[in-house]
Structure 1
Amino acid sequence: MVMNMLKRLSLYTLLLCLVPVFVWLSAWQWSGNLVFEDYEHPLYWLTETGSVPYAIITCGVFALLFLPLFSNRKQWILAVAVMAFSMVVTQGLKSGLKNVFAEPRPFVTYIAEQTGTGTDAFYAQDRKARAQIVDRFYQTQSSVPEWIKGHYADEVGYSFPSGHTIFAASWLMLTVGFVQLLDNRKGSAKLLLGFMSIWALLMLVSRLRFGMHYPIDLLISVLMAWLVHWVMFAFLAKKRYFQKAE
Structure 2
Amino acid sequence: MQGKKYGLIMVVALLVLLVPITLLIRSVDLTSPVFDSFGLFITLLTDSAGHKGFLITLAVLGVAMLRLPLSREAVLAKGLQLAVILLIGFASKTALKELTESPRPYTEYLAQAELIDSAENFYHLSAPQRDEVIENASHHVSTWRTLHWQGEKDYSFPSGHTIFVAICVAFFGGLFLQHRHWASLAILMTWAGGVCYSRLWIGMHRPEDLFASTAFVALVYIVTPSFPKIARLLVPYVPIRLFSQR
In structure 1, the partner of 2:186 is 194
Question: How far apart, CA to CA, are the structure 1 residues paired with 2:211 and 2:174?
Answer: 20
The alpha-carbon distance between structure 1 residues 194 and 207, as it changes in their structure 2 partners (threshold 3 A), is same
Question: How far apart, CA to CA, are the structure 2 residues paired with 1:224 and 1:52?
Answer: 20
The yes-or-no answer on 1:156 pairing with 2:146 is no
The Cα offsets for residues 90-142 of structure 1, whole Å up to 9 and x where unpaired, read as 1111111111111111111101221242222211235554234312321x22x
* Match for residue 221 of structure 1 among 195, 213, 216: 213
The alpha-carbon distance between structure 1 residues 26 and 154, as it changes in their structure 2 partners (threshold 3 A), is closer
The alpha-carbon distance between structure 1 residues 18 and 131, as it changes in their structure 2 partners (threshold 3 A), is farther
Question: How far apart, CA to CA, are the structure 1 residues paired with 2:25 and 2:185?
Answer: 30
What letter matches 1:147 in structure 2?
W
Question: How far apart, CA to CA, are the structure 1 residues paired with 2:23 and 2:145?
Answer: 27
* Match for residue 20 of structure 2 among 19, 22, 30: 22
Unaligned runs of 5+ in 2: 233-244
Question: How far apart, CA to CA, are the structure 1 residues paired with 2:145 and 2:22?
Answer: 25
In structure 2, the partner of 1:125 is 125
In structure 2, the partner of 1:44 is 43
SS in 2 for 1:69: coil
- Map 1:124-143 → 2, pairs under 5 A: 124-127=124-127, 129-138=129-138, 140-141=139-140
What letter matches 1:218 in structure 2?
L
Query: Is the contact made by 2:78 and 2:226 (CA closer than 8 Å) also made in structure 1?
Result: no
Query: Is the contact made by 1:94 and 1:163 (CA closer than 8 Å) also made in structure 2?
Result: yes
In structure 1, the partner of 2:62 is 63
Query: Is the contact made by 2:25 and 2:201 (CA closer than 8 Å) also made in structure 1?
Result: no
Moved more, 69-78 or 219-228: 69-78
What letter matches 2:59 in structure 1?
G
In structure 2, the partner of 1:208 is 200
SS in 1 for 2:97: helix
Query: Is the contact made by 2:11 and 2:214 (CA closer than 8 Å) also made in structure 1?
Result: yes
The Cα offsets for residues 161-202 of structure 1, whole Å up to 9 and x where unpaired, read as 11111111111111134456xx534xxx33322221111111
TM-score normalized by the length of structure 2: 0.80
SS in 2 for 1:66: helix
In structure 2, the partner of 1:184 is 179
- Map 1:53-132 → 2, pairs under 5 A: 53-73=52-72, 75-114=74-113, 115-127=115-127, 129-132=129-132
Query: How large is the RMSD of aligned CA atoms in angstroms?
Result: 2.9
Moved more, 24-33 or 166-175: 24-33
Query: Is the contact made by 1:20 and 1:216 (CA closer than 8 Å) also made in structure 2?
Result: no
Unaligned runs of 5+ in 1: none
TM-score normalized by the length of structure 1: 0.80
Identity %: 25
What letter matches 1:55 in structure 2?
F
Question: How far apart, CA to CA, are the structure 2 residues paired with 1:84 and 1:172?
Answer: 15
Query: Is the contact made by 2:34 and 2:144 (CA closer than 8 Å) also made in structure 1?
Result: no
